Structure 1
Amino acid sequence: MTTQTLPPSVPATPPHSPGPRPSPWSRERLAPAGLLAGTAVLYLWGLGSSGWANPFYAAAVQAGSESWQAFFFGSSDAANAITVDKTPLALWPMALSVRVFGLSSWSLLVPQALEGVATVALLHAAVRRTTGSAAAGLLAGATLALTPVAVLMFRFDNPDALLVLLLVGSAYATQRAIETTRFAEPGRPLPWLALAGGLVGLAFLTKMLQAFLVLPALAVAYAVLAAVPLRRRLGHLLVALATMVLAGGWWVAIVELRPASSRPYIGGSQHNSILELTLGYNGFGRLTGDETGSVGGNGGWGETGILRMLGSEIGGQVAWLLPAALVLGVVGLWFARGRGPAPRQVQAGLVIWLGWLLVTGLTFSFMAGIFHAYYTVALAPAVAALVAIGAHTLWRHRASLVASGGLAFATAGTTALAFVLLDRAGGWHPWLKYAVATLGFAAALMLAGVRHLPRRAGRAVAATALVAALAGPTAYSLATAASPHTGSIPTAGPTTQGGFGGSPAGGLLDGSTPGTGLTALLEEDADSFTWVGAAVGSNAASGYQLATGEPVMAIGGFNGSDPSPTLGEFQRRVADGEVHWFIAGGGTGGGPNASGSTSTEIAAWVAASFEARTVDGVTVYDLSPGVQ
């Protein structure tokens, strides 16, 4: 059999060249539209079944829809007692939606789903520009859309959805900046690079220091591959840094400089400081495990190590194509070496996404502080992009034994990992792992000799490999979309049991679910009080607030361990008639030091000073008589 003649490795035009304008009904336009339509259906179908999803953030969204001050600060309640333990940008689209459409599960979660569709569209565009291939762009978008943890987070109200959208936007803008230095007029890369910096700054306002994990990849890609003199490259990077600081720092500066008496307490901090929250609890404490005010930790967040992303807790969320992404990315970078616009454009894409994956993946693998499986949604765009760019690059060079061997090795490794991950699901569709193994290993064998196959046969083999690679994550994604998810620690896949379901009184990690009697009691004479109730822990307070639509004070913030309010402050508010009910049975108040926490002191004072009563199985205290 004769060896197939391949197209030249460097096309005559840059990979992003627009070429002839396609017909509105051409496959080139219909395929991306179909990708985004399918993604929208996956992310929107049955969205209301998750209710408030994470009540901690849902309550802050409700508060922001009622009070512009609560909106700006990200307060847990409209009376502005305490903020959530994050910067508030992710809450703003949801709060605006609730202001317009009223409070419901759909008005809360649809903005998150739309952010997911936009992320898929951006990644598709980035990979298509990198490779000049519509098929590669579609593969990247579909891989991201069908990553189980992405399906979970783009149907949930955590900050991660907006974080990923903004970071993918920053990668796209950096790619355009590098591209512009090679194919367009001088001086034009700076706006794109400044945009990239600004988007990273906005990502900081979404989830703080996690946003900065992509910075090494973006900076190295531009510093090494931009076709401008070194001095100008450094100047451009400094402008991008300034833009990032401006986009992310204005809100921090306002909050830090504003008198504490005129704003809510900064949740998650121990000294009412946004800088402390940024650098400590949500910053370096996540790396070292030294997070004052946290609960758990000290090894309680899972075993760290190089294989953490493949473990039983994380693997099914994001790891399906993770080894393949590394193999295809590294081998693809080897084949993308050389001069000219096309190789350099592919190099830029691979450097950006490999750097993103390595820095973020290693950080997640070894961080000793709070870590949840859903954080790994930040890996999904890099995995999807590397699989698509790497597979496209190696496929174009499949006459080489190294390229065909790389494709075969990546397919075999993905198949073996899929078998392991599906096997962990126990009795859930046990036939699937055998079907994946049969297709995947057969495709891997044929890919090793694909250079000897006719074009059509080779394409059939590649299609079979893709089906085998995506079957597992697709099945997990469909199971994720078909299941309600609530609580603070949701997980994707068939083993998900809806996170931490609500109990009547609530707790540290689950929202409260008040009965009709208790809800009616809290609503009585609500206009006469600043807070209709107070409960230890934000999740306990959130359910009562969402049920009544009235402010409920979250004593001690998320963990119940923040020193806000102090016992004296709470006593003064009670004496002034600002708090109607104290609802017992909420959060623990901060783990091993709970006995000394202000929330524990407040609960003890209330129990000793007021008469208890039980409504719908929950102990409550009427504080309206004031201090006795």
Structure 2
Amino acid sequence: MRLSSTLKRALTCGADAGCMIAIDDTPVRPREPAWSRWALLAACAAAGLLYLWALDSIGYGNSYYAAAARSMSQDWSAFFFGSFDPLGVSTVDKPPAALWVQALSARVFGFSGAAVIVPQAVLGVLAIAVLHRAVLRWHGPAAASIAAWVMALTPITVAINRDNNPDTLMVLLLVCAAYCVTRAVAAGSGWWLTTGAALVGAGFTAKMLQAWVVAPALFAAYLFAADVRLARGLRHLAGAAAVLLATSFAWVAAVDLLPGRKPYIGGSRDGSAWDLVIGYNGLGRILGNRDGAGTGAGNAGPSFGGEPGLTRLFNDQLAGQISWLLPLCAAALAAAFVVRARARRGGWVLWGGWLVLCWAVFSFAEGIFHPYYTTQLAPAVAALAGAGAVEMWRLYRRPGRLAWALLPAAVAGTVVWAGQVVARTPDWRPWLRPAILTAGALAVLLLVGARLLAHPRAFRAAVAGGVVAGLAVIAAPAVWAASVPAGDGGGMGGVNPTAGPSGFGGPGGGRGGPGRPPGGFPGGRGGGGGFPAAPPGTPPGGGTPDGAVPDGAVPDGGSPGGRTAGGGAGGPGGSRGRGGGMAGFGVASGGLTSAQKAVIEHARKNRGGAEILLATASATGAAPYIIATGEDVVALGGFNGTDQAITVDELARLVADGRLRFVELSGFRGAGGDRDTRLTWVSTRCSAVKDVAGLYDCAPSRADRTTS
């Protein structure tokens, strides 16, 4: 009797990998079917191909972070602080966790573009694998397989995983946290919950407060779905919250409390890591930078991600990057409500909460906002799309009720929205819109017709409709994703990677700045200024806060990144043509222009005993030199030129002590460069070097003379 009862329960469970049966009171999870593992391997292989194809067009990715990775790979102190330059004058304006991975790769394999970018691709593939395992435990193999493929083909995720911005590591850590919480909910385990909280804290060390956005969803899933008593569950949550805070602020506390001289923390107003968290790169991203927190950028958000508001994720900048399956996700949450899936409540709360929280924060953030931030939505979109498709298929096959109509309605809504997005650029892939609309219409007709006919053979038509529906829904994002490695989309280069045609996304990118030279420079000074404008002669890789380029600001000799307006091949810093305009902005090839070579050669020949080979106004001016040579080049003002990494008094003292002789002012000078006392000091107290544009000789014997 006991065996027959067990077999009956097993048959009731069916093929659901999340169903548990018991033999002799021992829990047994059904073995994962082989096709699920093959689906995961295929999705990972496809993602790896998308991330690694045509690496020559990537160069070193974001030149600002690439320079920091090289500096950090040369010195363990620079490694810990996240220094931009080899001497450690200032840090990048993010915590260094993501750069730790790249710097370690460069230290082991030697500094190269591949050493910087390949680890990003590996982390991206790992995120897909972990997501599959998390969804498998929650909703079974079919949902997990769909989720893996959806994430692999999310356009903005393909773009960011081919770059060296910190979002890739943050997403992986958050997906790992979701996996841990999924296990915590199933087992009522405080240990798994605490591990998940620690992983969110590690994500904070990659991208600060952005990693915290999903934390309420993870904790809510445990609170409302774990099979534990309320008091015990609250204790588990309290412990996890404490671990979250401890792991999040471990690096911040270590930097601010460490005695002695330290690098200036890039992007801060007073040189502290704490100010970076609550200022420019923390609350400033949500509330706006109206107080000029470390950047003087003002409320620059709309320049990149469009105006804040309910429909921000559907605007021209963001729609093609992440919004394709949002209608399907809404239908998935409706399906969960219809079936009242108590057994899977934890996953719906976790992934649904993840989606809603990210949508709310990203939609209404007033500060600087780039399209690639939306890659944080990809795991939730993928998980909900997979689970929703399975639930809607089950509802579709149930006898009676009108809930069956949810599946064809979801397919129709998703395909129609994709057609609207594609129609915004009718000249790019003109065949795509009629193809997806035709496939979507055929899928809906097959699904509705099979259901209404109620014929035994109609099931074949329904299956065919489901397959066609899947292809119609995923076709447009897949084409946009493929445009990134193909190099024929409108991506903005290393500082603001995007997918799809030009006209989507906005100019922008990463920031940074690093450490102090031996002997150090005291920190604790503020910056400020208005929104920067690129001066004539901005070199490849130049830019403004977070890689921004003000409207109409184009360096002499072509567009940013050393490219012509038509998108032809440019000098070092450029990338393959992607429709012109901003294609190569912020991408470093590892070479120097003829003007930059003249600067570095003159400085080498005439530096004498100077410790610092060259100083530039901003980190964007120093980055090409550090990437190409790894020598002791420093930035006076961090990424955007406004950081007080070196004050005018310190500059004068360095020159007087013979530790610095040459300063280059031809590159990007930052906000209010004409009012920066440091640049004024250089231009009035130092001599312009003949035949080397933008280079000033500040040797003590010359520093008392005013140049014409």
TM-score (structure 2 length as normaliser): 0.80
Q: How does 1:345-356 map to 2 (within 5 A)?
A: 346-356=344-354
TM-superposed CA distance for 1:28, in Å, is 3.8
Please identify, of 68-77 and 603-612, the stretch whose mean Cα deviation from structure 2 is larger.
603-612
Q: Does 1:609 align with 2:609?
A: no
Please identify, of 416-425 and 495-504, the stretch whose mean Cα deviation from structure 2 is larger.
495-504
TM-superposed CA distance for 1:332, in Å, is 2.3
CA contact (8 A) 1:73 1:83 kept: yes
- What one-letter code is carried by the residue in structure 1 that aligns with 2:317? E
Equivalent position of 2:554 in the other structure: none
TM-superposed CA distance for 1:613, in Å, is 2.9
Equivalent position of 1:295 in the other structure: 297
TM-superposed CA distance for 1:208, in Å, is 0.4
- Where 1:281 maps in the other structure, the secondary structure is coil
Q: Does 1:514 align with 2:593?
A: yes
Equivalent position of 1:417 in the other structure: 417
Equivalent position of 1:4 in the other structure: none
CA–CA distance in structure 1, aligned partners of residues 604 and 470 of structure 2: 56
Picking from 129, 134, 138, the partner of 1:126 is 134
CA–CA distance in structure 1, aligned partners of residues 352 and 41 of structure 2: 28
CA contact (8 A) 2:163 2:494 kept: no
What CA deviation, in whole Å up to 9, does each residue of 1:363-408 have, x standing for no partner? 1111111101111101111111111011111212213554432212
Picking from 309, 312, 318, the partner of 1:308 is 312
Distance 1:498 1:209, change over 3 A: closer
Distance 1:348 1:450, change over 3 A: farther
Distance 1:448 1:532, change over 3 A: farther
Please identify, of 235-244 and 205-214, the stretch whose mean Cα deviation from structure 2 is larger.
235-244
CA contact (8 A) 1:51 1:486 kept: no
Q: Cα RMSD between the aligned structures?
A: 2.5
CA contact (8 A) 1:163 1:203 kept: yes
TM-superposed CA distance for 1:217, in Å, is 0.6
Q: Does 1:138 align with 2:137?
A: no
TM-superposed CA distance for 1:246, in Å, is 2.3
- Where 2:662 maps in the other structure, the secondary structure is strand
Q: How does 1:433-444 map to 2 (within 5 A)?
A: 433-444=433-444
Equivalent position of 1:328 in the other structure: 332
TM-superposed CA distance for 1:278, in Å, is 0.2
Equivalent position of 2:562 in the other structure: none
Q: Does 1:97 align with 2:124?
A: no
Picking from 318, 324, 339, the partner of 2:322 is 318
Distance 1:432 1:146, change over 3 A: same
CA–CA distance in structure 1, aligned partners of residues 605 and 413 of structure 2: 62
Q: How does 1:569-584 map to 2 (within 5 A)?
A: 569-584=650-665
Q: How does 1:465-544 map to 2 (within 5 A)?
A: 465-483=469-487, 486-495=493-502, 503=539, 506-508=542-544, 509=547, 511=586, 513-515=592-594, 516-524=597-605, 528-544=609-625
CA–CA distance in structure 2, aligned partners of residues 14 and 140 of structure 1: 15
Distance 1:488 1:171, change over 3 A: same
TM-superposed CA distance for 1:520, in Å, is 3.0
- What one-letter code is carried by the residue in structure 1 that aligns with 2:324? W
Distance 1:614 1:441, change over 3 A: farther
CA–CA distance in structure 2, aligned partners of residues 525 and 482 of structure 1: 45
What CA deviation, in whole Å up to 9, does each residue of 1:540-572 have, x standing for no partner? 211121122113212221221112211101111
Unaligned runs of 5+ in 1: 1-6, 182-188, 339-343
- What one-letter code is carried by the residue in structure 2 that aligns with 1:455? F
Picking from 466, 472, 477, the partner of 1:462 is 466
- What one-letter code is carried by the residue in structure 1 that aligns with 2:437? A
- What one-letter code is carried by the residue in structure 1 that aligns with 2:391? T
Equivalent position of 2:523 in the other structure: none
CA–CA distance in structure 2, aligned partners of residues 517 and 19 of structure 1: 67
TM-score (structure 1 length as normaliser): 0.90
CA–CA distance in structure 2, aligned partners of residues 158 and 584 of structure 1: 27
What CA deviation, in whole Å up to 9, does each residue of 1:216-236 have, x standing for no partner? 111111101111100110111
CA–CA distance in structure 1, aligned partners of residues 464 and 280 of structure 2: 51
Distance 1:532 1:507, change over 3 A: farther
What CA deviation, in whole Å up to 9, does each residue of 1:291-317 have, x standing for no partner? 522425265452111000000011111
Please identify, of 502-511 and 483-492, the stretch whose mean Cα deviation from structure 2 is larger.
502-511
Q: How does 1:266-415 map to 2 (within 5 A)?
A: 266-289=265-288, 290=290, 291-292=292-293, 293-297=295-299, 299-301=302-304, 302-338=306-342, 344=343, 346-400=344-398, 401-415=401-415
TM-superposed CA distance for 1:49, in Å, is 1.7
Distance 1:204 1:412, change over 3 A: same
Distance 1:31 1:287, change over 3 A: closer
Q: Does 1:567 align with 2:648?
A: yes
Q: How does 1:211-226 map to 2 (within 5 A)?
A: 211-226=211-226
- What one-letter code is carried by the residue in structure 1 that aligns with 2:478? T
- Where 1:397 maps in the other structure, the secondary structure is helix
Equivalent position of 2:164 in the other structure: 157
Unaligned runs of 5+ in 2: 1-9, 21-27, 510-537, 548-584
CA–CA distance in structure 2, aligned partners of residues 65 and 491 of structure 1: 28
Q: Does 1:46 align with 2:125?
A: no
Which protein has the bigger helix share? 1
What CA deviation, in whole Å up to 9, does each residue of 1:445-475 have, x standing for no partner? 4334554363332221111011011110110
What CA deviation, in whole Å up to 9, does each residue of 1:261-292 have, x standing for no partner? 51100111111111111011112221221352
Distance 1:350 1:10, change over 3 A: farther
CA contact (8 A) 1:154 1:161 kept: yes
Please identify, of 320-329 and 294-303, the stretch whose mean Cα deviation from structure 2 is larger.
294-303
CA–CA distance in structure 2, aligned partners of residues 59 and 12 of structure 1: 51
CA–CA distance in structure 1, aligned partners of residues 133 and 449 of structure 2: 32
CA–CA distance in structure 2, aligned partners of residues 332 and 446 of structure 1: 24
CA–CA distance in structure 1, aligned partners of residues 449 and 542 of structure 2: 59
- What one-letter code is carried by the residue in structure 1 that aligns with 2:159? L
What CA deviation, in whole Å up to 9, does each residue of 1:508-562 have, x standing for no partner? 3355853333343344477944332111222121112112211321222122111
Distance 1:273 1:393, change over 3 A: same
TM-superposed CA distance for 1:503, in Å, is 3.0
Equivalent position of 2:192 in the other structure: 192
CA–CA distance in structure 1, aligned partners of residues 484 and 396 of structure 2: 36
Equivalent position of 1:185 in the other structure: none
CA contact (8 A) 1:407 1:448 kept: no
- What one-letter code is carried by the residue in structure 2 that aligns with 1:295? A
Equivalent position of 1:621 in the other structure: 696
- What one-letter code is carried by the residue in structure 1 that aligns with 2:178? A
CA–CA distance in structure 2, aligned partners of residues 614 and 470 of structure 1: 59
- What one-letter code is carried by the residue in structure 1 that aligns with 2:431? W
- What one-letter code is carried by the residue in structure 2 that aligns with 1:101? F
